[in-house]
A and B are shown apart, each in its own frame.
Chain A
């Protein structure tokens, strides 16, 4: 009866043991060295609390900076990522199912994705000015490729028997895309989406470091310039936590949407059971 919770607790411990160990080591080393550039984690956490939380119920106990820096930054990162997802998946499926389109566009795609996205920040600054537009353009340009290429790959993975089956049953074009190509490509698409999410966060910070008057990247830059290293570290911790949480949220969505896949342990057993 208590087997399930116990195993889960053990798993949780195992997963966080190394993390906790690293934090302890970090704490000890920084306390011994006593450097102003590297504050101990306990102090960083304290700064985090001071930075982001206030005793103000009308603001849901969150400081102004949460509304003025964190949420706008997140909105840009996630907004850019969503645009990436829509464009990347639809374009990728189309390219994956059309050999001609793929052959025409492949050199262009390869060329464009070889350009490091941060290098384009100046270009987008000229094109869109300083602000959300330029940041979202940077994010979309950098995060598009993993989704696009994985969608192409996924769409191509539809085997010939399925193509024949769909054709022999005269499956309509929309049903074919919606119920055959898309689900077949979905495992690959999710792999692409996860990579893109990480890239979106990186480019969000990057574009804010270069030019912005608010946002997480801007705050990191500002605290560095004003020698408030504790604050700087607090923002870095926030970025790590955000990345972790967003990735887990996406994994949960993936598990839900790919629930039809055979469980990993069960797969070989059913494959062998011929009768």
Chain B
């Protein structure tokens, strides 16, 4: 297996001076060719920052991204992105087919080839007959299938997906997950998928990378030991799935290494507070307060207060949606 993507010591800090906010730091991992890797992290942990850096949409303040051995500077040619917000990512004035064809225009593909590649890609996602419709005439799930088809029509070496199924209902999410598994098996595609949904990451991935709270780093790398063909019901009830998802959840909530908990709570407060631009060094009264508050709770009477604290933390990690 060759390495498709190599991310080394990637870091990104927004702003500078007192208002500097480090979203990710010292992030390193690789994605092998033909692999589906899921990145799972708590809300607002810098998953999108990471993905935008890989896609070349912004330049990280530190580290390098290598795609097929070449350092990424600017948007790489061999890559396609599926965004969470399908309704805004698709162009409403173009028909479904024109949407899928659109990126091919700038790649110098002839009109005939464009049409056949668009038809083929729409066939892959089961929308062979919807080509002449406009995106708004389709349901949300179908719209996201169109943007998957659009990405696939470019035949990218690497398919990046940014919370692709976070904006559809649960039933549709299951359908789209299975569609992704089927399509990537058929095309032997390399996929890097970012999600906040623990179950989704385990269900889809060959490997799950768990990110910490900001500044995000890779906390753990878990190979998913499930059969390649998966099923929404039997896979999800299998022991291997259940224990994996628990492991990911435990890692996500930072319950494993005890030494990490204090700074993590700090950064959590920073991340979920007012747009997440706080001083994180603890020098200001605000920083001090966020560090000491949980300590007091832990050292104090404990019992009730602590339990409550844990509960809210868990809830945050699992269900809260990614902030826009």
Name A residues whose Cβ lies closer than 8 Å to a Cβ of B. Answer: 159, 161-162, 164-165, 167-172, 175, 179-180, 183-184, 186, 260-262, 266-267, 270, 273-275
Per CB-CB distance, the 8 closest pairs between chain A and chain B, nearest first, are A169-B103, A161-B88, A183-B93, A172-B106, A168-B81, A260-B93, A262-B136, A274-B140
- How distant is A189 from chain B, measured CB to nearest CB, in Å? 13
B102 near A274: Cβ-Cβ < 8 Å: no
Name B residues whose Cβ lies closer than 8 Å to a Cβ of A. Answer: 52, 55-57, 75, 77, 79-81, 83, 85, 88-89, 91-95, 102-103, 105-107, 134, 136-137, 139-141, 150, 154, 160, 168-169, 171-172
Selected contact of B91 from candidates A164, A167, A183, CB within 8 Å? A183
Complex Cα–Cα for A222 and B104 (A):
62
Complex Cα–Cα for A224 and B150 (A):
66
Q: A169-B154, A172-B106, A275-B171 are in contact. Are A161 and B89 (CB under 8 A)?
A: yes
- How distant is A163 from chain B, measured CB to nearest CB, in Å? 9
A262 / chain B contacts, CB cutoff of 8 Å: 92, 134, 136
A168 / chain B contacts, CB cutoff of 8 Å: 55-57, 75, 79-81, 160
A170 near B134: Cβ-Cβ < 8 Å: no
Q: Which residue of A lies closest to B142 (CB)?
A: A275
Q: Which residue of B lies closest to A160 (CB)?
A: B88
Q: A169-B106, A270-B137, A275-B172 are in contact. Are A162 and B77 (CB under 8 A)?
A: no
Complex Cα–Cα for A162 and B105 (A):
16
A175 / chain B contacts, CB cutoff of 8 Å: 102, 105-106
B168 near A275: Cβ-Cβ < 8 Å: yes
Complex Cα–Cα for A161 and B137 (A):
20
A275 near B106: Cβ-Cβ < 8 Å: no
Q: A168-B55, A273-B139, A274-B140 are in contact. Are A162 and B102 (CB under 8 A)?
A: no
A161 / chain B contacts, CB cutoff of 8 Å: 83, 85, 88-89
A273 / chain B contacts, CB cutoff of 8 Å: 139-140
Q: Which residue of B lies closest to A187 (CB)?
A: B93
A162 near B88: Cβ-Cβ < 8 Å: yes
Complex Cα–Cα for A225 and B75 (A):
70
A170 near B77: Cβ-Cβ < 8 Å: yes
Q: Which residue of A lies closest to B162 (CB)?
A: A164
Complex Cα–Cα for A159 and B172 (A):
26
- How distant is A240 from chain B, measured CB to nearest CB, in Å? 35
B57 near A179: Cβ-Cβ < 8 Å: no
Complex Cα–Cα for A262 and B171 (A):
26
- How distant is A185 from chain B, measured CB to nearest CB, in Å? 11
Complex Cα–Cα for A267 and B93 (A):
14
Selected contact of A180 from candidates B57, B91, B134, CB within 8 Å? B91
Complex Cα–Cα for A134 and B321 (A):
61
Q: Which residue of B lies closest to A178 (CB)?
A: B105
B80 / chain A contacts, CB cutoff of 8 Å: 168-169
Q: Which residue of B lies closest to A171 (CB)?
A: B106
B106 near A162: Cβ-Cβ < 8 Å: no
B107 / chain A contacts, CB cutoff of 8 Å: 170
Selected contact of A167 from candidates B75, B93, B154, CB within 8 Å? B75
B75 near A274: Cβ-Cβ < 8 Å: no
A179 near B103: Cβ-Cβ < 8 Å: no
Question: A170-B75, A171-B103, A175-B105 are known contacts; what are 7 more A-B pairs with Cβ within 8 Å?
Answer: A165-B83, A165-B89, A167-B57, A274-B141, A274-B172, A275-B168, A275-B169
- How distant is B94 from chain A, measured CB to nearest CB, in Å? 7
A169 / chain B contacts, CB cutoff of 8 Å: 80-81, 102-103, 106, 150, 154
Complex Cα–Cα for A154 and B160 (A):
30
Complex Cα–Cα for A184 and B169 (A):
28
A179 / chain B contacts, CB cutoff of 8 Å: 91, 94, 102, 105
Q: Which residue of B lies closest to A161 (CB)?
A: B88
B91 / chain A contacts, CB cutoff of 8 Å: 162, 179-180, 183
Complex Cα–Cα for A172 and B105 (A):
8
- How distant is A76 from chain B, measured CB to nearest CB, in Å? 33
- How distant is A158 from chain B, measured CB to nearest CB, in Å? 10
Q: A161-B88, A168-B57, A170-B106 are in contact. Are A274 and B169 (CB under 8 A)?
A: yes
Q: A165-B89, A179-B94 are in contact. Are A267 and B57 (CB under 8 A)?
A: no
Selected contact of A171 from candidates B81, B89, B102, B169, CB within 8 Å? B102
B57 / chain A contacts, CB cutoff of 8 Å: 164, 167-168
Q: Which residue of A lies closest to B173 (CB)?
A: A275
Complex Cα–Cα for A261 and B135 (A):
10
A260 near B105: Cβ-Cβ < 8 Å: no
Q: A168-B75, A169-B106 are in contact. Are A275 and B139 (CB under 8 A)?
A: yes
18 CB contacts below 8 A, A to B, read: A161-B83, A164-B81, A165-B83, A168-B75, A169-B81, A170-B77, A170-B107, A172-B106, A175-B102, A175-B105, A179-B91, A179-B102, A183-B93, A261-B92, A274-B139, A274-B169, A275-B168, A275-B169
Complex Cα–Cα for A155 and B287 (A):
41
